[in-house]
Structure 1
Amino acid sequence: MHNCSTTRSGAVLVVLSLLVWSISTYLHDPATPVVMELWGLKYSDVVYGVFYQRFSPSAGKFWFNGEKFAAFIRGDAFCPIPYIDYHFEYPPLTGFTWALSTCIAFAVSRDLNTAARIHYYVQATFSLAFLLAYASTLNKLALKTRQKPLRAVFALITPTLILYLVYNWDIATISLALLGMLALTDQRYLEGGLLLGASFSAKLLTAGIAYYFFVKLAFINRKFHHLFKYTLGFSLTGLLPLLLLYVIAPQGFFKFIEHHATWYCENCIYMVFIQDIWSPLHRYLYPVFSGLYVAVLTKLLLARYEPRVELDIRYAYAYTSALIVFNYVFSPQMLIVLLPLAVLALKGFLLLEYAIADLFNAALIVEFFAEMQRGGNPWILGSSAQLMALTRNILVLLLLLQITLILYGYKGACTRLYSFSTLMCFTTPSSTPTTA
């Protein structure tokens, strides 16, 4: 009966994954109509945020060699390479998939709009593969923590996942991170390190998860061969690609660093206090607050750790949440990285709080473009888009504080959390499997 139930839940997750992917792919397909004339439902970084900005006739400022750009615009047959020929602001694994999709697109057609659509379909195929891995791994982690497969279903049908799935590369980074966490809970340390390193090479947002397992292996387990395997794996897929990028394309590497080091306060929580979105203070506050919070979590980890998969997931959620909510860039698609961790780590009213944050997050991009169409400025505090972002930010911050209190009282204690006049009580389930 158990195997039959597992098979049924797996089939449901596959069907749901295909449905969610189909909706997201249709919404962002550059050739489909704009749904309800809401441009926020059409926009994607995959096409409009990067592709057209790099390959349109006016994109010369992004290229490192003017002659090569001129040859590309003339239609000469060659495949331009990110970091080498032009600026690309994402880490190496994403750059690799980008090079594949754009080279395939331009090999098929030199017409820009046709190439954009081919590139989009290749990227959408990658997103589907990562989504299927995401659903399967999330289901396995739910079973490890004695939770119902319904949680994996919830993590597939949220507005944020539907809207931002085929939009950017966050589904890649979190699916690889979940696979890495699953490997580490099964004591496959080299594989876990390789997968978490690959996740870091897709987008840097899962650095907190990698750091958590490093601290756990180095200072709690204290088994050198486990730590060595994990560190080796992470170095090979997480650090070595960045080193190779620096050696092969130094100009592209430093432009990648510069892009992130000079970006503005994008929906960030500090806007309440510093309303100039280009102020460097936003970028200074991020390492201060995130660093302090990571230090607090690490102190809790070293003082109160118990070998439970449930605890691994809660710490992964807390570390990742701290690096996101205190960031000076909190793009709406980034919430996909928190989504599966929240679904596994949060219970009761806290999960409802997260669902509300998810709704505001999904609506953010729609209202952002709608506000621009109305002649407003969606970047500034007081705009309807930034009010949505602020509401989301406050909810995510409250959840981070609440999960930290849960971690503080984890050893058999009952942690009472007042949230919107609701009293929550959490206890440690004695049946939760342990990890090494």
Structure 2
Amino acid sequence: MSAQPPNDDRPDVPSATSDGFVRGLSQFIGGPLGSHATRPDARPNRFWTAPRLILALTCLILALSWVQKSPCMSGDWQKNVQYTRFCYTDVLALYYAEGLSDGAVPYVDHQVEYPVVTGYFMGALGLPVHWYGTTQDTGINQGSWFYNANALILSLFAVATAAVLLAMRRRRPWDAAIFALSPILLVTATVNWDFLAIGLAAIGLLLWVRRRPALAGIFLGLGAAAKLWPLFILGPLLVLALRRGRIMPWVEATIGAVITWLVVNFPVWYWYHESWLRFFRLNSERPVDWGTFWYVGRYLDSKWKTGSPGDRGPFQWLSDHIPQLNVASYALFGLACVVLMVIGLLAPKPPRLAQLAFLVVAFFLIFSKVWSQQYVLWLLPLIVLARPKWGAVLAWTVAEIGYFAAFYAELIGAGGKSVIPEGTFVLASSLRLITVAVLCGLVIREIWKPELDVVRQTYGTDPDAGVFEGPDVGWVDNLRRHLGFSRPAIPAGDMAPPEAPVVVKV
């Protein structure tokens, strides 16, 4: 007889149940919540419930982020103030660089370097700001107004992302605090327009959980029209479709995503084709970017090469041959995806959707030739859903913030004023890569050993499976046995929490 998870929808308390790091940290305030203590959700009429507190904390961090960016709002970036005060933002810089300050319509009058939803958004806010600033004779700082309008709407997308995390983890609301309190959110929330894609992709995931695959695909398609990475989530959905033997929901989501992406892109593609191609050409032609795997490799090549002065290591050679670099980058990402599919098909239980989604996006960043500072935001909500354990996430966060500081020091150095040695920046870049790789390893470990997965301990199954909830098809078990795996696949819902939380009403 299979054990079932406890029928208890009340919130998990990390100090009392699954998170060893939080449980250890709670010793500073008296220790973990006891089995006879009044739980935080015990009073039904209390206003400050866990979800409301998480949303309030998200708003607080975003407000502090606005304050942190305030030294740059005037646009008068003298003496590298945008780097020394860590307040640089593409939003303000590109208001002028993309011609919005002159009333240029994105794609029509100026070739924007971003996908179309981002370009539409820039124009929808930038053109009214320019019109008001030039026709009403108000003397307003147009760049500051443009940044503030963008920051407000991007912050709303960030709050919506936090709300989605809460909706997807009703029994584990405190997991969303990893997102709400993250220093990553504080320093990068409005560096660029990434929260457009993040918010749309998060809504798409929630719709999938609510068993609306076509609508989920539409929002993933909209997110991909802002930044391409939400399309990667279709890969994990395919793995789950194969294990469940239910391909049609995946087809619905994929058709919804592709048609949405095509419809949104069509006007610019048809009438302003050269402008539409700008994004793709730029990404094809871009050299090795700061802090990437390829950047670190090029530095090590320069330090470790032997032989004549003309010898160049493989990373140095690829840096000078961009087409071959593109092939190498895509090939490694493709290989990582194949390995991920094999793991997903052979794991004892179907991996959770969030685990696979985190891994595919992380693999893309690890092997990409471009890793802008704000791309870390792509991973933040996904790691909350995939592996909500504070210890490893905090180690990764420290590495990311260290890279953030080193990157700005490197930018100052690029202007002729040395701040840190190049080796220090490479070390910070390497630590960022290593911590992301460690997170990937931990997630893969929990895919292969699902009894270690704290989300499964709470739910007993994948809470994000949506229409893919249910048992595997027979060929999965047969394939595992044929390949010599002694442990048979575990039917969905057959894993009870190893240590189910004790709940005592008082």
The normalised TM-score by structure 1 is 0.81
| AA matched with 2:51 | G
1:367 alignment counterpart: 409
Contact 2:399 2:428 in 1 (8 A): no
Q: Give the letter for the 2:459 counterpart.
A: S
- Which region of structure 1 is more displaced relative to structure 2, 91-100 or 268-277? 268-277
**Are 2:65 and 2:187, in contact at CA under 8 Å, matched by a contact in 1?**
yes
Structure-2 change in CA distance of 1:373 and 1:252 (3 Å): closer
Q: Aligned partners of 1:185, 1:56: CA distance in 2, in Å?
A: 39
Can you list the C-alpha shifts for 1:156-186, whole angstroms capped at 9, x where unaligned?
2222211111111222222222221121122
Residue 6 and residue 408 in structure 1: after superposition, are their counterparts in 2 closer, same or farther (change >3 A)? Answer: farther
Q: Percent identity?
A: 19
1:342 maps to: 383
- Matched residue SS, 1:104: helix
> Counterpart of 1:53?
97
Q: 1:199 and 1:377, CA in 2 relative to 1: closer, same or farther beyond 3 A?
A: farther
**Alpha-carbon distance in 2 for matches of 1:89, 1:215:** 33
Quick check: 1:355 aligned with 2:397?
yes
Per-residue Cα deviation, 1:384-411 (whole angstroms, up to 9, x for no partner)? 334322221122123223322332333x
CA separation of 1:357/1:345 partners in 2, compared to 1, >3 Å: closer, same or farther?
farther
The 3 A distance-change label for structure 1 pair 9 and 374 is farther
Counterpart for residue 167 of structure 2: 140
Q: Within 2, Cα distance between the matches of 1:257 and 1:431?
A: 42
CA contact (8 A) 1:21 1:166 kept: no
- State the distance in 1 between where 2:365 and 2:394 align: 20
Distance in structure 2 (CA, Å) of the matches to 1:104 and 1:335: 31
User: For 2:215 and 2:228, how far apart are their aligned partners in 1?
Assistant: 19
Against the structure 1 CA distance between its residues 7 and 93, is the aligned structure 2 distance closer, same or farther, given a 3 Å change threshold? farther
Which residue of structure 2 lines up, in the alignment, with residue 42 of structure 1?
Answer: 87
Q: Distance in 2 between matches of 1:377 and 1:366?
A: 9
Report Cα offsets for 1:336-394 as digits up to 9, x if no partner: 1101211232236433432333332442444334444661398xx93533432222112
Offset, 1:301 = 1.6
Going from structure 1 to structure 2, the CA distance change for 1:269 and 1:4 (only over 3 Å counts) comes to farther
- For the structure 1 residues 322 and 38, does the alpha-carbon distance in structure 2 shift closer, same or farther, using more than 3 Å as the test? same
Aligned residue for 1:398? 438
* Letter aligned with residue 460 of structure 2: T
1:166-185 alignment runs, 5 A limit: 166-185=190-209
Confirm or deny that 1:202 pairs with 2:245.
no
Distance of aligned partners of 1:278 and 1:243 in 2 relative to their CA distance in 1, 3 Å threshold: farther
CA distance in 1: counterparts of 2:339 and 2:401, whole angstroms: 29
Partner of 2:15: none
- How many residues of Structure 1 are paired with residues of Structure 2 in the alignment? 395
Which segment is superposed worse, 352-361 or 204-213?
A: 352-361
Contact 1:160–1:335 under 8 Å retained in 2: yes
Hey, what does 2:498 align to over in structure 1? Answer: none
What letter is aligned with 1:340? Answer: P
Q: Distance in 2 between matches of 1:220 and 1:20?
A: 40
1:232 to 255, 258, 262: 255
* Structure 1 unmatched ranges of 5 or more: 58-71, 73-78, 415-424
Q: Cα gap change, 1:104/1:430 in structure 2, threshold over 3 Å: closer, same or farther?
A: closer
SS of the residue corresponding to residue 109 of structure 2 reads coil
Pairwise CA distance, 1:430: 6.9
State whether residues 221 and 230 of structure 2, in contact with CA within 8 Å, keep that contact through their aligned partners in structure 1: no
Q: Is the 8 A contact 1:182 1:192 kept in 2?
A: yes
- Of the three residues 237, 241, 247, the one matched with 2:264 is 241
Structure 1 CA distance for aligned equivalents of residues 142 and 76 of structure 2 = 18
Aligned: 1:431 with 2:454: no
- Deviation, 1:322, is 0.5
CA 1:372–1:89 in structure 2 vs 1: closer, same or farther (change >3 Å)? same
For structure 2, which runs of at least 5 residues remain unmatched after alignment?
A: 1-40, 300-315, 470-506
| Other structure's SS at 1:87 match | coil
Ranges of 4+ aligned residues in structure 1 off by more than 6 Å: 32-37
- Secondary structure at the counterpart of residue 298 of structure 1: helix
Query: What's the CA shift string for 1:279-299, capped at 9, x where partnerless?
Result: 425433210111100111111
1:180 and 1:194 in contact (8 A); partners too: yes
**CA pair 80-222 structure 1, distance change in 2 beyond 3 A:** farther
Q: Residues of 2 paired with 1:360 and 1:396: CA distance?
A: 14
Q: Which amino acid aligns with 2:355?
A: R
Trace 1:245-284 onto structure 2 (pairs within 5 A): 245-266=268-289, 267-275=291-299, 276=316, 279-280=321-322, 281-284=324-327
Tell me the SS of whatever aligns to 1:273: helix
Shift of 1:209: 1.6
Shift of 1:35: 13
1:153 alignment partner in structure 2? 177
> Is contact 1:39–1:370 with CA below 8 Å preserved after alignment?
no
Q: 1:364 to 1:210 in 2, by over 3 A?
A: farther
Q: Deviation string for 1:110-156 (max 9, x for gaps)?
A: 3998221222122112112101101111112232xx43x22212212
Native 8 Å contact 2:75 2:143 kept in 1: no
Shift of 1:80: 2.2
Shift of 1:260: 0.8
What's the secondary structure of 2:98's corresponding residue? Answer: helix
User: Aligned partner of 2:92: which letter?
Assistant: V
Q: Is the 8 A contact 1:38 1:369 kept in 2?
A: no
User: Is the contact made by 1:24 and 1:163 (CA closer than 8 Å) also made in structure 2?
Assistant: yes
Q: Does 1:119 align with 2:146?
A: yes
Q: Does the 8 Å CA contact 2:234/2:254 hold for their aligned counterparts? A: no
2:63 to 14, 22, 26: 22
Q: Which has the larger radius of gyration?
A: 2
Q: Work out the CA distance in 1 between the residues paired with 2:394 and 2:110.
A: 43
Looking at structure 1, the residues matched to 247 and 210 of structure 2 have their Cα atoms a distance apart, in angstroms, of 17
Q: Which residue of 2 aligns with 1:302?
A: 345
1:33 CA displacement: 9.1
**Structure 2 match to 1:317:** 358
Residue 193 of structure 1, CA deviation: 0.7
Distance 1:232 1:305 in 2: 30
* Letter matched to residue 331 of structure 1: S
Corresponding letter in the other structure for 2:90: D
Q: Cα distance 1:33–1:13, how it changes in 2: closer, same or farther (>3 A)? A: farther
| Aligned-partner Cα distance in 1 for 2:386–2:52 | 24
Does structure 1 conserve the Cα–Cα contact (< 8 Å) formed by 2:111 and 2:275?
A: yes
Structure 1 residues 305 and 382 mapped into 2: Cα distance closer, same or farther (>3 Å)? same
The CA distance in 1 between the partners of 2:419 and 2:228, in whole Å, is: 29
Q: How far off is 1:102 after superposition?
A: 1.1
Q: Which amino acid aligns with 1:396?
A: V
Mapped contact 2:225–2:264 kept (Cα < 8 A): yes
Letter in 1 for 2:183: P
Matched, 1:290 2:318: no
